[in-house]
Structure 1
Amino acid sequence: MAQESVRGRVVVVTGASSGNGKAMSLALADRGARLVLAARRVELLEATAREVEDRGGEALVVPCDVTVREQVEGVARAAEERWGRIDAWINNAGVIAWSLFEDTTEEEFRRILEVNLMGCVYGAWAALPAMRRQGSGVIVNIASLASLVALPVGSAYSVSKAGVFALGDSLRRELKGSGIRVCQVMPVGVNTAGFFHQRTRGFRLSKRVAPFLQDPETVAKAVVRCLEKPGTRNIPLGIQGKAAFVFGALAPRLVDLFGGLVARGVQKGDA
């Protein structure tokens, strides 16, 4: 299929204040998209907006907690009031907590589900009415390889991302023939402040893993690909993503062994 331009298209990015969200916002600004930036941290959102505008882009800042459906719908209203349409909605906001399942509190587990999964549900509900009226649009979910190969010390995160992946696949099939596409980006692990600064329990997350992680710009490029290439569906990112996918499918016992070693290390308080 022919490549499509994002120039002039209205794109909503949740979690746009830092990390992956900021990187994809800047990448889309470079291509002339009109951006609706949503997140809780207003000062950081405004900083992202200034960088977008410095690159010649247009940005609308809308503070939003993606766990509150009314606020997410407010983002959609603001986009339509400003530009009259929504061409793409990127469900990017997410959180993670590192701990064994039995050490994870109910509050932590629920929060991760609400942000990662329900945030995507509310985003899709908010975006679809405008896209239905237009007969076109793209919903992009930032899922994770953890949706297919679950993390041994990130059960809540893995569950939430598995739900996101299933949501996206279900939506894609429901929307076939409507002109609305669904694409899912699946990083393995991204070198952002959030990855290292989230709560851990019983172990230390070593900075030595950083060279093995992907960078936010890699995620941003995949998002641009989702918008520009109509045939794109699910994107496991990089060599790490493809390797994790292959090992999870072809060598599940090896993955189980590795996961068990990680879990035992965590129980001993290792890095």
Structure 2
Amino acid sequence: MTGDRPTVLITGASSGIGLATARDFARRGARLVLVSRSAEALGAAAESCTALGAEVLTAPADIGVAATVDAAFDAAVARFGRIDVVVNSAATVAYGRFVDVPPEIFDRVLRTNLTGTANVARAALKHFEAGGGGDLILVGSLLGKIAVPTMGSYVTGKWGVHGLARILQLEARAMDGVRVSLVSPGGVDTPVYAQAANYVGWEGRPPPPVDPPEKVAAAIVAAVGRQRRDRSVGLANEVIVLGFRALPAVFDALVTPLVKLAAHSRTPVSPWAGNVLEPQPAGEAEHGKWGRHWLRGVTAGTVAVAGGVAGAVLRGRSAGQDAVPGGAAQTPAERTRR
């Protein structure tokens, strides 16, 4: 990060990756504009950043509503004169099969994760073009590159975010001093899983390997001043994406049992909307409860399930057949008729 006390606007700043990022910038002497839906949670975030020496402005806003985003940017300019860096990390999650998630929940997740990202990007780019440049950093996800069951709205939104980021990166080539970066984390220890809307019956949890939010925050801070087309944060991310693209039959056979094993906890949850429709400030924090201690039992089960299903798929292939998850193998003649 260069410059004298840059002004950084962060959405989703009251919890998880956004809060970790705010604290990282605070330690570096940045002036902060913290944006989130909950004024109460923003107040706590502001106190922690002020204690680290930062000058802080809070701007409650729902990024899914363009007018509130514009108001937050206006407040930031009125207070600090300009904005140098914008980080969009706000997101919500819903668990459940596509047909089980209520339409209003599905739509609201998309409104926050995709439309909200577009609202923030539009405001940032207009400000940067008028003010001589700046950095827009979008938080994507490993799930913006692959597909998993029971997280349809989140996956759909993050695929859109990744597409939007690439469009903006191309268009930013004609904008002097404007840089657009994408940071794509895998499993991260934040409260988002417990805060999620849930219609699958079990509390969600981050799939291993689980990184601390500070690691993602460090990648975000490192992107300032140097555009990152896509910075992946997560030891297994590239391997998982390779499997999704290069071995789709194997991936499709593995993904459902692995999601049940690694991404669903054994804590039962009754159907609820989580923080999708309204913020839940009591549940907001920098870290969740998913440190590395819980992974020991999951790892052995993951290896067993992956080995068994992959072996079945590969045996089917070696016999000249395609293994179809949940169904019988197909002969070459049947494949030709597809």
Same fold (TM > 0.5): yes
Query: In the alignment, which residue of structure 2 is the partner of 1:236?
Result: 232
In the TM superposition, residue 214 of structure 1 has moved relative to its aligned partner by 2.0
Could you say which residue in structure 2 is the equivalent of 1:156? Answer: 153
Where do residues 27-106 of structure 1 align in structure 2 (5 Å cutoff)? 27-106=24-103
- Does the 8 A contact of 1:89 with 1:140 survive in 2? yes
Q: Does 1:250 align with 2:249?
A: no
1:7 deviation in Å? 4.9
Q: In 1, Cα distance between the equivalents of 2:240 and 2:85?
A: 29
Q: Against the structure 1 CA distance between its residues 80 and 259, is the aligned structure 2 distance closer, same or farther, given a 3 Å change threshold? A: same
Check whether the contact 1:6–1:28 (CA below 8 A) recurs between aligned residues: no
2:46 counterpart SS class: helix
User: 1:181 corresponds to which letter in structure 2?
Assistant: R
Q: For residue 6 of structure 1, report the CA deviation from its aligned partner.
A: 6.0
Equivalent-residue separation in structure 2 for 1:18 and 1:191 (angstroms): 11
> In the superposition, relative to structure 1, how do residues 175 and 237 fare at CA in structure 2: closer, same or farther (>3 Å)?
same
Once the 2 structures are TM-superposed, how far is the Cα of residue 270 of structure 1 from its aligned partner? 8.9
* Residue correspondences, number: 263
Match of 2:219 in 1: 222
**TM-fit CA distance, 1:128:** 1.7
Q: Is the 8 A contact 1:203 1:270 kept in 2?
A: no
Task: Check the 8 A contact 2:209/2:235 in 1, yes or no.
Answer: no
Match of 1:13, SS state, is strand
Q: Tell me, yes or no, if structure 1 residue 18 matches structure 2 residue 1.
A: no
Contact 2:12 2:18 in 1 (8 A): yes
Alignment equivalent of 1:205, drawn from 203, 206, 217? 203
Are the structure 2 counterparts of residues 238 and 129 from structure 1 closer, same or farther at C-alpha, using a change threshold of 3 Å?
A: same
2:127 pairs with 1:130: yes
Q: What per-residue deviation string (whole Å, max 9, x for no partner) do you get for residues 25-54 of structure 1? A: 000111111110011111211111111111
Q: State the SS of the aligned residue for 1:157.
A: helix
Distance 1:199 1:135 in 2: 41
The one-letter amino acid of 2:2's match is S
Q: Structure 1 residue 197: deviation in Å? A: 3.3
* Alpha-carbon distance between aligned partners in 1 of 2:164 and 2:86, rounded to the nearest angstrom: 15
Deviation at 1:247, TM superposition (A): 2.1
CA shift for structure 1 position 206: 6.1
1:89 Cα deviation from its structure 2 partner: 1.0
Query: Aligned letter for 2:132?
Result: G
Deviation of 1:110 after TM superposition, in Å, equals 0.2
CA RMSD of aligned residues (A): 2.0
Paired residue secondary structure (2:242): helix
Q: Which amino acid aligns with 2:233?
A: L
Q: What is the distance in 1 between the residues matched to 2:204 and 2:104?
A: 25
Can you give the 5+ residue segments of structure 2 that lack an aligned partner in the other structure?
A: 267-338
What is the match of residue 196 of structure 1?
194
Distance 1:193 1:231 in 2: 29
Structure in which a larger fraction of residues adopt helix: 1
Instruction: Give TM-score, length-normalised by structure 2.
Output: 0.73
Q: Within 5 A, what are the aligned runs for 1:169-180?
A: 169-178=166-175, 179-180=177-178
CA distance in 1, matches of 2:67, 2:168: 21
Please say if residues 14 and 90 of structure 1, whose CA atoms lie closer than 8 Å, have aligned partners that are also in contact.
yes
Report the counterpart of residue 296 of structure 2 in structure 1. none
Shift of 1:249: 2.6
Checking the alignment, whether the CA contact within 8 Å between 1:97 and 1:157 is kept in structure 2 is yes
Mark the CA change 1:140 to 1:270 in structure 2 (over 3 Å): closer, same or farther: closer
What amino acid does structure 2 have at the position aligned with 1:182? V
1:51-78: CA deviation from partner (whole Å, max 9, x where unpaired): 1111111110111111111100001101
2-structure distance, mates of 1:7, 1:163:
35
Q: Which amino acid aligns with 1:151?
A: V
Distance 1:202 1:129 in 2: 41
State the AA in 2 paired with 1:205.
E
Corresponding residue for residue 184 of structure 2 = 186
Distance 1:111 1:262 in 2: 27
Letter in 1 for 2:235: I
Larger Rg: 2
